[in-house]
Every structure is written in structure tokens, then in C-alpha cells.
Amino acid sequence: MASRDKTDPILPNNSATPAVCTGCGCLCDDVTVSPSGGSLVANTHGCAKGQYWLELRPEPKVSAFLNGRPAPLKKAINAAADILWKSNNPLVFGLEQITCESAAKVVAISDWLGANLDTTASFNQGPTGLAFQGVGEISCSLGEVRNRADLILFWGADPLVTHPRHTSRYSIDPPGVHVPLGRKNRFVVVIDSEANQTASQADLWLRPKPGRDFELIWALRAMIQGREIAGYDSAANGVGLEELEGLAHRLKGCRFGVLFFGDRLLAGPGHHLNADGAVSLAHDINAHTRFYARPLRRAGNPMGSESVTCWQTGYPFGLNLARGFPRYNPGEFTARRLIDSGESDVLLTVGVSPGDYLNSGNANGSHSFQHIHIGDGLPEEWQSPPKVEIRTAPFATAASGTVYRMDDISLPLRPLSMSQLPDMEQVLTELEGTILERMRNSSPPTEMAAS
């Protein structure tokens, strides 16, 4: 295919075509886009974040690189297969900007290699997975929130910034079947130690001291259960008992309530215990009324990739397949620890911008392991080129497949532009086939791959 400076829209001229925007966890499917000046413009229901996500950007004239130099795609796939096959303890990481079909290929490759497999959840929403495993998930769809919820609680989240249409389409403003007046029928609560835009629209903003979310959650749980609270330190926690009692009364008195929690709740000292408490709080409130807890997920398809990983292995992230069966231990098999300790000799990043999560110094040689990257181009601050880099068609505009919204609703993703870059699923399929060919024709090596 002839090279060009930009991807070309494949939409008919002056058409308004339905699209799924993967710019945040809402995955808005009511957006329409049209071609304009060689790019795409969201002309219905789009937000600024979504427009940036849908922009068409210049593409490289070649898709594959070996040691930073252009190479034929087939040669790059063969080189990647050789490195992975010779690896003693490979780490596969990412699965964020990737369809469910491609994620299934990544899991299969990890299984053949006996690799460590980790997703970006270990850096943000991993504690949510641990909480769901510990106390169970209590969830509802965003459509139910829109039509039924009369109380919305945001904890450690600012959706007006991170999920711009969440409040207007689902949670705060829209009228619904059982909340016909929209905002007037809803009571909105924000609990966050930091000032944020969503708090300015809330009916109640509780501002705990940084790192004191754990104490507030357990105090609320005790109040909901009708237990006596002793030793609560209002000054240290930043929220008084009277304020919490008023909130507990509202939580029990609503008809349909939802707790949305964000990364800031999980980033404090409590980590997964905070997520555990948030989900357990929803369980407690259900003794009085209908109440649910949902995490606010990031852009791309993290929900879908974790669902695929669970379906294929039984676990969402942080697992090891070296013994022929999955072993799950987020403290041992997650990317951060394996990279910092230097235990992995090969790093394969797929469907992720590694600079958002990994230390480029470590990932480029401080522990002497080889890096293979499949997906969008690496950021400029990445210190040195990977051994193998394969750039695939942009996930936001040129990918096709299945993605999952933040409430576990699956949506079809279809390409809005043509790309000269190869499709990720095709690349992964060919890589898997090449690795299987190595397995059939070779015995497992005993030494690490040469750098």
C-alpha cells in the first residue's frame, strides 16, 4: 500500500456516521463523526477529550523496526518470535488500547511461552479486582443509573475531568424513567480530599484529610449497620461524626444509589482495602435499599482485556503461566516488581504506551532485558529503541472488534479510517503462529537470549 502522511477517512463525504469513542471508560456510542480536512470531527454528542482521541495523526512510512532501524514486517515478527522463544522468564504487559479479540491472542501467546502476564490494572484499578474477589461485585448498568438513581456518590473521582459526559449522560443531569426531573430528583455527594470540578456541582462535599478514606468508609459502615462508634477522631480525619451520620441517613433513605470511585480512593494508604470497603459499604446499604458500587475506568478497553484474561485464565492480571497452569499473585507477578527486580529477561508490551506506566530507564537496559513493543509508537522520552517495534493501526480510529464499557457492557468497534499500518490482531496471530512453529521444530533452550 502506498505510504501517506495521514490516515484517510473511509467515511462517505459529508456523512454523519455512528461511532464508539474509546477516549474514556464511558465508551460513548451515541457519537457521530464526519470526515473534514483529512481528519475526523465528532459532530454529535462529542466532548473535547473524545475529539482529541478521534483525531487522525501522521503515520510512519514503515511499520516495523529492528534496533530502531526500519525492517520488513515479516522479519520483525520472526525476530520477536525468536527472542520470546529463547526467553527464560518473559513478561507480557499492557492490554489497554486493544480489542477483546487481540487480547485473547495475547493470552494465548503468554500461555505458549509460559510467561508472566500483567495488565495496566496493576497500576491503577488492580485493588478493585482484589476487592471483587474478596467480597463480591455488586453492579448495575449505566442505563440503570440514568433511569433509576436518585443518589450519586463520587469518592476519589472527578468525572467532569476524567469522564466528561458521565455526569451529563448517566449520573447527574439526565432525566430518567424514575427520575423525570433529572438533576432536581438527584442528591449528589462528593468525597475527596482535593478540590475538583465535580464537587462544585455537588449537594454535599465532604473533604477528608489525605489518606483518611479508610477511616471514613469503616465509620460509615458501622453507622449503616447501627453499631456504636468509639474513638473516632474528627480532627484527624477531617470529617465530623455529625456529617457522616447525615450522609449515612441519606444513603439508607435513597431509592436507588450508586457509589462511583476513582483512582484517588485506591491510591491512598489503604489501596485494595479502600476498594474492599467501598464495595462492602454498598453491600451494607442493600440491607436498607438498592445500592451499587462501580469503579470509573480509564480510556481504551481495560475492562474488556481483563474480562478476556479472566475468561481464559481465571484471573484478571498479575499471573504466571510457567508451570502449565495459571498462578495468581499480584505481589509477585506484576510488571512493576518484575521490572524493578530484573527477574524477566524479555519484556513484551502490547496495546499500551509503556511510558505511562514503566520507567524507561529500567525498561531499556538497567536490568539487561530485551524489549519488544506492539502497538502505537513509543513516546519521545523513551530512552532507547526496543529490539523489535511493530506499530499497528490506531486503536481509536482504525481498529475493529469488541470493547467493554466501564459497566461491563460489550460494544462493537468498527474502523473509521484506513491505515497503512498492519492490524494488531493479524500481527499477533502471525506472531503466535511463528512461535508455535519454533515450538514444533526446536527443543526449549537452556540459556537466555543474547542481547
pLDDT in tens, 333-378: 999 999 989 999 999 999 999 888 886 555 544 456 899 999 987 8
pTM for the model stands at 0.90
Torsion 265-128-164-281 (CA) sign: negative
| Residue appearing with cell numbers 483525531 | 55
CA pair distance 110, 108, nearest whole angstrom: 5
Compute the C-alpha angle 303/129/236, nearest 5°.
Answer: 120
Q: Residue 35, SS3?
A: strand
pLDDT in tens, 66-105: 999 999 999 999 999 999 999 999 999 999 999 999 999 9
Residue 342 CB partners (closer than 8 Å, separation 6+)? 366, 367, 368, 369
pLDDT in tens, 186-224: 999 999 999 899 999 999 999 999 999 999 999 999 999
CA pair distance 243, 280, nearest whole angstrom: 20
Strand extents, DSSP E, 244-287 = 256-261
Buried b vs exposed e over 329-356: b needs ≥16 C-beta within 10 Å? ebeebbbbbbbeeebbbbbbbbbbbbbe
CA pair distance 446, 154, nearest whole angstrom: 52
Bridge partners of 402?
A: 412
In this predicted model, which residue has the larger pLDDT, 10 or 329? Answer: 329
With a cut of 80, say whether residue 450 has pLDDT above it.
Answer: no
Count Cβ atoms below 10 Å from residue 41 Cβ, excluding itself.
16
Amino acid at 262: G
Bridge partners of 346?
A: 90, 370
Phi and psi at 104, nearest 5°, equal -65, -35
- Cβ atoms of 274 and 217 within 8 Å: the answer is yes
Buried b vs exposed e over 89-103: b needs ≥16 C-beta within 10 Å? bbbbbbbbbbbbbbb
What percent of the chain lies above the pLDDT cut of 70?
A: 92
DSSP class of 355? G
| Residue appearing with cell numbers 519488544 | 372
- Cβ atoms of 323 and 77 within 8 Å: the answer is no
Q: With bands split at pLDDT 50, 70 and 90, how would you rate the model's confidence at 3?
A: very low
Integer CA distances (angstroms), 140 to 86, 172, 329, 408, in order:
45, 16, 28, 9
Integer CA distances (angstroms), 313 to 102, 129, 376, in order:
15, 14, 26
Domains defined along the chain, listed by start:
62-124+300-398+419-441 (3.40.50.740), 126-295 (3.40.228.10)
For residue 445, give the nearest of 116, 109, 83, 112 by alpha carbon.
83
Amino acid at 358: L
The pLDDT score that the predictor gives to residue 365 is: 44
